[in-house]
Copies of this chain bind each other. A is one copy, B any other.
Amino acid sequence: MSNLRLDAKQATQFVEQIFNGYGFSKRNSSLIAASLIDADLRGITSHGIQRLSMYDRKIQAKYIMPDAIWRIINQTETSLLVDANQTMGQLVSIFTMNEIIEKAQSHGIAVGVVKNSNHFGAAGYYARMAAKKGLIGIAATNSNPLLVPPNAREPFLGSNPLAFAFPTKKDPFVFDAATSTVSLGKIEVLLKNNQKIPGEWAVDGNYQQQKDPQTILDDLSRDNRIGGILPLGGLREDNSNYKGLGNAMIIECLTAILAQGSISADLGNKNHDLSHFFLALDPCLFGSLDETENNLSQMLTRMRHMSHLSEEPITLPGDKEIHAYEENQVKGIAIDQRTFDELNVIANRLDVPNLRNFDAVKG
């Protein structure tokens, strides 16, 4: 597991400098850095600073354009269609979510669709933006193909994450997850930590279970594309894995199909245009925010205190992230040695002060 920690503020500054080095404006570099380090602070290591080398490859390949200017193609009082023009997914997503939050504040509900975009990091970041304003927030994206439909030999859908945030009296309830059993980032993290896959997560090209992270990443590389990650529900129809498939297909419909962009199956080789979906909904259309927030807070409290196995507490989606956020503000964000080394290679190339120089790096 990770044995290094970085001070969150210093890590944010480092990421800002990296993106500034690529040619992003100071303001945009700062937005990107804040969203990536937010994932690390919440313990979502798979979607934080460890993804920098992936962004680096995409920027070098010119799939991500540092000077891109996104534009609104069409809008109504309750909707927004945005062409990202190959900017970083984070930037156009923050823009779009802010726009539809404003629309939802005036009209109760609003929906935004983004085309020609790139990987947007952790979906929960955008859903949470709505919850901070007292709104329900939804964020989703398609992504490079990795999900193998039941009985198939190849991937077709992406990890296709969905994030949902609902305001409460304290921290919002946030559920942010790939619709596949796991995201590719989780496989990458296992590999970096020399660990095998613990559950029913992946198959080879013969639909046989696969436990080795490196083999899965090789199988899913753009030249191979056999086997991949299973839908939630795992290998067997008996365990309702078609429901996991259905969830991933809903996200594909709301992103690529609505945006008329490339579907996940076609991403990663010739096409690099991801599509995103955002929704904001005002609970006050149906009752007072105060009462609604109270009711949800009470429900979450009751769930956390349900009768359970003595050795295993009840953990709700989002609870680990809330706990990690508090802890990592103090202890610093976790980083594995391989990511640490990768980042310094990038830093050296861009003439950015090396991570080793940070005071807060602890053994």
Residues of A within 8 A of B (CB): 74, 76-79, 81, 107-111, 113, 136, 149-154, 156, 164, 166, 173, 175, 177, 179, 181-182, 198-201, 206-207, 232-234, 236, 238-240, 242-247, 249-250, 252-254, 256-260, 263, 265, 281, 283, 285-287, 291-292, 295-296, 299, 302-303, 306-309, 312-317
Contacts and interface: CB of A to CB of B under 8 A. Distances in A.
B243 A302 contact: no
B257 A150 contact: no
B307 A154 contact: yes
Contacts of A78: 78, 107-109
Given A108-B76, A166-B257, A314 B150 contact: yes
A208 to B, nearest CB: 10
B238 A199 contact: yes
A42 to B, nearest CB: 15
A80 to B, nearest CB: 9
B81 A286 contact: yes
B154 A296 contact: no
A257 B199 contact: no
A286 B312 contact: no
Nearest to A311: B151
A149 B300 CA distance: 12
Contact of A177 (B164, B246, B281, B314): B246
Contacts of A76: 107-108, 285
A43 to B, nearest CB: 14
* Protomer copies: 2
B173 A249 contact: yes
A341 B113 CA distance: 52
A254 B246 CA distance: 19
Residue of A136, A242, A265 with highest tally of chain B CB at under 10 A: A242
A247 to B, nearest CB: 7
28 contacts: A78-B78, A78-B109, A79-B109, A79-B286, A108-B111, A109-B110, A109-B111, A111-B281, A149-B306, A150-B314, A151-B309, A153-B307, A153-B308, A166-B257, A173-B253, A175-B249, A200-B238, A201-B239, A207-B309, A232-B240, A232-B243, A233-B233, A234-B234, A249-B316, A249-B317, A258-B287, A259-B287, A265-B302
A306 to B, nearest CB: 5
A310 to B, nearest CB: 10
A175 B74 contact: no
A239 B234 contact: yes
A292 B151 contact: no
Given A179-B243, A199-B236, A232-B243, 16 more contacts: A74-B285, A74-B286, A78-B109, A111-B281, A149-B306, A149-B316, A152-B306, A175-B247, A181-B243, A198-B238, A199-B240, A242-B315, A246-B317, A249-B316, A257-B283, A257-B296
Nearest to A174: B246
Contacts of A312: 150-151
A254 B252 CA distance: 21
**Top 5 A-B pairs, shortest CB-CB distance:** A199-B238, A175-B246, A151-B312, A246-B317, A79-B285
Contacts of A308: 151-153
B81 A285 contact: yes
Contact of A232 (B109, B244, B281, B292): B244
Contacts of A177: 240, 243, 246
A252 B309 CA distance: 24
